[in-house]
Amino acid sequence: MSAAVEFRHLVRVAGRDLDGSKKLIVALSDLRGVGYNFSSVVTSRLGLDPRARLGSLSEDQVHQVEAALATAAKSDLPKWYYNRRNDPYTGESKQLLGSDLDFVMKGDIDGEKNVQSWKGVRHSLGLKVRGQRTRTTGRKGRTVGVRKAALIAAAKEAGEKKEEK
């Protein structure tokens, strides 16, 4: 039928422009909510070459990939492949992509804050939530340790002023 598919440097998949020069699995894992393992499972289920570049896929193959990502929860994958297992509202496991994932995560965090659970309190205070140490990490912009250069310069100035008197 058609001789060759023209290479595209930007490919639109699931509402996002992806780099066509990347390999298929790596390019799909650039989507929010799709990891390397999940993208490899999707490509193997579709029978696509995982080493092929995303820009070399035909338009039909790109639509197949989009449809497979959109209907991933209806496939017979194990529950642990999905990024939203046992949804507290519906009880089902599903795969969320992009802004849907951000929206649901924000809703979960806001729910924790409203209930005032320990995790919610930690979120509201801007502290670590999952038991990490906070003594030396997570200071968010503040300097860590002593700035020796500033102390040395201040000591020199004080010494010079003392000598002048």
Q: Which of 87, 92, 97, 110 is nearest to 65 (CA)?
A: 97
Domain assignment of residue 83, yes or no: no
Domain assignment of residue 3, yes or no: no
What total number of domains does the chain contain? 2
pLDDT score of 165: 65
Domain ends where: 78, 107, 124? 78
Domain span at residue 153 reads 98-164
pLDDT by position in tens, the chain (length 165): 455 678 888 999 988 899 989 999 999 999 999 999 999 999 999 999 989 999 999 999 999 999 999 888 788 888 888 888 888 888 888 889 988 899 999 999 999 999 999 999 999 998 899 999 988 887 776 565 666 777 788 888 888 777 776
Residue 16 maps to which CATH number?
1.10.8.50
| Residue 111 sits in the same domain as residue 73 | no
Q: Which of 78, 108, 100, 106 is nearest to 31 (CA)?
A: 100
Domain ends where: 46, 78, 110? 78
Domain assignment of residue 90, yes or no: no
| Residue 36 sits in the same domain as residue 70 | yes
Domain ends where: 49, 78, 107? 78
Contact 102, 32 (CB under 8 A): yes
Helix intervals (H) in 5-147: 24-28, 36-46, 59-70, 98-115, 118-125
**CB atoms inside a 10 Å sphere around CB 59:** 10
**CB atoms inside a 10 Å sphere around CB 155:** 10
Strand extents, DSSP E, 6-158:
10-13, 16-19
Contact 40, 28 (CB under 8 A): no
Domain assignment of residue 150, yes or no: yes
